[in-house]
Amino acid sequence: MRILGIGGAFGHDPSAALLVDGEIIAAAEEERFRRIKHAYSIPPSMAARFCLECAGLFPRDIDIVAFPFSAESQTKNRKEYAKRIFSHNPIRAIRAYTEHSRKINKKRAFLKKALLETGFDLSKTKIVEVDHHLAHASSAFHLSGFERAAILSLDGAGEYTSTLIAEGMPDGSIRELKSFVEPDSLGNYFAAITEYLGFIPNDGEFKVMGMAPYGDHNKIDLSFLLKLCNGEYRVEDGFVWAPWWRRAKGLNCDKRLIERLGPARVGDDVMEPYIHIAAALQKQLEDSAIYLLEHHLSDALKNSKGKLCVAGGCALNVKMNQVLLNHPLVSEIFVQPVANDAGTSLGAATYAAWLNGEKIAPLQNLYLGPDFNQREIEDALSKKNMKFEKVFPIEDRVADLLAHGKIVAWFQGRMEFGPRALGNRSILANPSIQGIADEINLRIKFREKWRPFCPSVLSEKAVEVIGSNHPAQYMILAFNAAEKAKELIKEAVHIDGSIRPQVVDAKANPRYHRLIRTFYEKTGVPAVINTSLNRRGEPMICRPEEAIEMFLASGLEYLAMGDCLICKSK
């Protein structure tokens, strides 16, 4: 069966994913093709066309289009949502009813536009609507390879639901145990404080996570904003849910929050009291996740022998994931690595596949985007009059450059699906050289100097670096760095001693594995710094032309694309 998932119904991170007979063939975010970060409200027609072309299919060949929005769920949840907010915001409660049909029609119009732009005949297209959080849950459970698991889905909201707690059963069904609706949303709460801290909501949350270790959570009390009691959590939305006219401008926090905490942060520096607010917020998220797990998932974890699946935008928070992994009830965790809304195209497709009796293959890797052959790469270089050297094997030359302290842009194979560069659209550096992280931040990425970097680690040496043999191939889990690693790869270790690794094995990415292996043989360092090939505020690079443009406009000295090596000094 051929199933195309179309994501993005809730306004950000639209994407498309293609399953054929239960196996992921292709997936990509629309932002990579449009070159607009998060591609807000843009139907993912370019991503959908790519998926079809990758498989040699036409729209008429698709059996089902799966869409991670359910009108039925929207209708069911609006009563609880309206009841929750009526006492202090009756206008919003009433709008849940008066604007109900308009909201549903808007979501369906989004899908219709995406399909028409892709070339579908709507009269001959079977559409399956999948509940938003069910899509998140399916993307984690059905791709985990677990027969049975506890499931936790945390994000802003979809169809008013902000949190889904469930159990994945041996027959593939997902049994809901508990859910929460807006305004009780950990994702929206984190987004509001993200804005207060000077970052863009639904974009800068990972920066808050990176800032948090510089602060002390005991120095700021945020308990007036989030309450945990009797298995429930309650967000005091009068502080963090702004009026609609402010939200339309991207402003999430209310002026009362500023009156309580002081002026919002501006600029790029880490400073008091904002580092302490970030630390307190991060601690609240971690504590809330553990609270929900202990109150609602203890039986599910016992039934599954400790297996936990996590998805939703909050699951991009690797420190929260680390705390969940370290919980005594958890033996193994699978965090769906495209955990944000981009991953709902995948989850809608997997859930539709399960509904139709398909056996779904576990996730193997995220190299699911466009690929460019050697001729296309050389043509792109020639059009820009770029001089290049063809090198065989190029990974050995790049390993030598890294060993000598050079920073290299690395463009190979199929583009990654999701927010993390995993060795195909990457900037690489030697993590043992003092100051190299600052150089990348200031001269190449043009981003905040306090932001941490991640290491790509040889699978053979992973235990020596991360102190664990738990699977960690997607930069979605944090670990406390082993003592030896704190010095050996010091530029990839955060201020709190944690690392967010990508463990690389030869099967998943043979060329990248060989590069790191050769680098290790030259230096004794079993990892490289790996950061995404893009500049601040831009989507990750997709095409050779974009890699060349970034190379020319940044402080990069070397670019390796396919078998071509480009050096600015030549």
Is the preceding omega at residue 337 within 30 degrees of 0, hence cis? no
CA dist., res. 542 & res. 248, Å (int): 30
The size of the chain, in residues, is: 570
CA dist., res. 474 & res. 530, Å (int): 12
Question: Which two tokens mark 547?
Answer: 């890699």
CA dist., res. 17 & res. 516, Å (int): 30
Active site residue 276: no
In 3D space, the residue among 155, 127, 126, 128 whose CA is nearest the CA of residue 140 turns out to be 155
DSSP string, 537-561: TSPPP-SHHHHHHHHHHSS--EEEE
Question: Which two tokens mark 468?
Answer: 């664990």
Q: Which residues pair with 559 in a beta bridge?
A: 409, 566
As a dihedral over the C-alpha atoms of residue 62, residue 16, residue 314, residue 356, rounded to 10 degrees, the angle is: 10
DSSP string, 371-415: ---HHHHHHHHHHTT---EE-TTHHHHHHHHHHTT--EEEE-SSP
Strands (E) in 202-252, as ranges, are 226-229, 232-235
Catalytic residue among 12, 132, 217, 296: 12
Using alpha carbons, list the distances in angstroms from residue 34 to 38, 43, 141. 10, 11, 31
Count the helices and strands in the chain (H runs, E runs): 22, 22
Cβ pair 105, 135 in contact under 8 A: no
How many Cα atoms occupy the beta-carbon half-sphere of 505 within 13 Å?
A: 11
Using alpha carbons, list the distances in angstroms from residue 530 to 2, 188, 272, 378, 402. 34, 30, 30, 25, 12
Catalytic center residues? 12
